[in-house]
Amino acid sequence: MKTAQLPPVRVEASVREEIEAVLREGESLSEFVETAAIEAARRRSAQEAFLARGRASLAKARRTGEFYAAEKVLEDMRERLQSRMQALRKGDGTAGTSR
């Protein structure tokens, strides 16, 4: 049950036409705008959480003095990615998922 409204959004006619051109069958402009707003809010929330984790990690590194070279971290990530890709090519969907 919907209990609140978003404020009206004023856009150029061409923007409205562009949005209406991509609406799915049975989808209203209001539904599209609602979905877009929800997705944007979730994306921003995820970005904020990512930044918070990064700040906490930096604070911990400064506190402990334990830092890692970017090249080493990227190398480890590439190895994990290659391992996972090889497992997927072999048809093993579970291999390489543990840390």
Do residues 50 and 75 both lie within one domain?
no
**CB within 8 Å of 87: residues ≥ 6 apart:** 93, 94, 95, 96
Do the domain assignments include residue 98?
yes
Kindly report, residue by residue over 22-35, the tens digit of the pLDDT: 999 999 999 999 99
pLDDT at position 72 = 96
pLDDT band for 96, please (50, 70, 90 cuts): low
Do residues 36 and 84 both lie within one domain?
no
Do residues 47 and 80 both lie within one domain?
no
Do residues 56 and 75 both lie within one domain?
no
Contacts 24+ apart (CB under 8 A), 4-7: 6/33, 6/34, 6/37
Do residues 74 and 61 both lie within one domain?
no
pTM of the model: 0.66
Q: What total of structural domains would you count in the chain?
A: 2
Give residue 57's domain range: 9-65
pLDDT band for 91, please (50, 70, 90 cuts): confident
Do the domain assignments include residue 3?
no
Do the domain assignments include residue 46?
yes
